[in-house]
Every structure is written in structure tokens, then in C-alpha cells.
A = this chain, B = another copy of it.
Amino acid sequence: MTVKQLSMPELVDTCVQLGIPGVGLWRAPVQSYGLERTAELIRGAGLTVTTLCRGGFFTAIDPAERAAALDDNRLAIDEAATLGTDTLVLVSGGLPAGSKDLHGARERIADALAELGPYAEERGVRLAIEPLHPMYAADRCVVSTLTQALDIAERFPAHQVGVTVDTYHLWWDDQAPAQIARAGAGGRIHTFQLADWTTPLPEGVLNGRGQIGDGSIDMREWKAYVEAAGYTGPIEVELFNDALWARDGREVLAETATRFVEHTT
């Protein structure tokens, strides 16, 4: 999504040129290019799919909506398996219309994971609850902290349910470093994502994630936390940013690779 202006072949080609060994994919562009075709393209280029984004949206109360969400998540798990990634990132869902019950919504997420965990395990896919910044609690994700994500994840085996650690969502939280240690000790850090925090936030607060190095987050500090917790997996850069999307995608990807090296090594 960092360079969604690139076609799938352009993305793969640019990754290869830049020496980027793996790529996290979102479902819509994969479906648009074709699931099997994407899997072949990536495999043929010698790249790996680090994660698939995103499953989730588990908080509906209406039974039909809830069943549809579970069906869609089973499909997402199947897609992840076909793409050869072991991790499906979950954006768990906000409050249903008219509801003010955060606790109930969080419990419905746990209920959904109880149904999906074994299905994912059978296909070699781990579910990674992503705590989203508290500014998304109402409309996208009622799981706002790593503490909350682990409180849910730890009800399940680590090879079924873990967490996504994303600097953009967690950087403000002084409890997050200890929770990263907790997650690491339990083998539950299923992916680690970087984005920087820049202000002012845009209307709707979705597409203002800053390029690495442009904002308030010390990337080395957060990388050190996950490394100290035993994480050795890929590090993803996930930027939703209208200004970056308006530029040449290859140039943005090259810049991102440079910034990554500058700010994490």
C-alpha cells in the first residue's frame, strides 16, 4: 500500500531492482491482479510475501453481518496460504452503528478468533491482531493498545493468534515496550511495521502516515525493542500517505528503502 500507484508487476520489478527481499500485500490489489497470478509473479521473482493485509472487522452484532465477516476471513486465510505467507494481519473493527460498548466489541473479536484460529492453523497461517492508534477506536479498531491485543491473543495458542507491532499506532504508549517484551516471550510478534508520525493529521486521519524519518518516532528505538524481544522476522514499511501516492511509485519505493537503511541500521 505504500506504493499502491504501482501495478503488481511494477512493484515486484522495483523490489527486485532495489534488493527488497519481501513485500506485504493487501487483498484488493491481489484480487485485482489475480490471486494465483500474484503468487506466481512473486515466487518467480524470488520474493516472499511477508504478510497479507487485512482480515478482521469482527465486531458486527447482526448475525448475518457476522457470518459474512467470518466467511470473508476464511477466504483471506486461504489467500494468505496461496500467497505463501504465514501471517494475516487483522484490523479488528470499530463500534457497530449506535453502539457505545467497547468491551462487548472486544469480546466479539475474541469469539471470532476462536472460530478462525483452528481454520488458520490448518492452513499454516497465523492471525496477527493489530492494535490501531486510539484515534481509530470508534470506526476501525476497538483494540487500541498492545496490552489489549495481547489480552485477547493470549486466549489462543501463539501459532494461531499473535500481534502486529506497528510504530505508528504504538509510539505514544509508554507501556508498549514492556508489552513488546511480553509478546516476544510468548512468541506472538507475528510482524513488525514502521511508519512515522507527522502532523497535522489530515481529515479522516487515515492517509497521513509519515515517511520514515519525517516525524516523531525513533525507529531504532522500536527496532531495538522487538529485537530484544527475540523478533527476527521481516520489517515492513506501511505508509498511507496521499502525498506519497501522488508521486512516482518507483521513486517513492527507492526513497523508502534509503530511509529504512538510514533510520534502522
Contact = CB atoms under 8 A, between A and B. Distances in A.
Could you tell me the dominant secondary structure of chain A's interface residues? loop
Nearest to A218: B100
A175 B134 CA distance: 13
A134 B173 contact: yes
A200 B136 CA distance: 10
B100 A201 contact: no
Contacts of A199: 138-139
A142 B174 CA distance: 10
B134 A172 contact: yes
How many copies of the chain does the oligomer comprise? 2
Interface-central residue, A95, A137, A175, A201, by most chain B CB under 10 Å: A201
Interface in A136-152: 137-139, 142, 144-145, 147-148
Contacts of A101: 218
Q: What is the size category of the interface that chain A forms with chain B?
A: 35 or more
Given A100-B217, A172-B137, A201 B200 contact: no
Given A100-B217, A102-B172, A172-B134, A200 B197 contact: no
Interface string A179-190: 000000000000
A208 B201 CA distance: 13
Contacts of A148: 174
Contact of A144 (B172, B201, B203): B172
A215 interface: yes
A207 to B, nearest CB: 11
A215 B138 contact: yes
Interface in A200-253: 200-205, 215-218, 221
Contacts of A54: none
Given A174-B103, A216-B100, A201 B135 contact: yes
Contact of A102 (B106, B174, B175, B203): B174
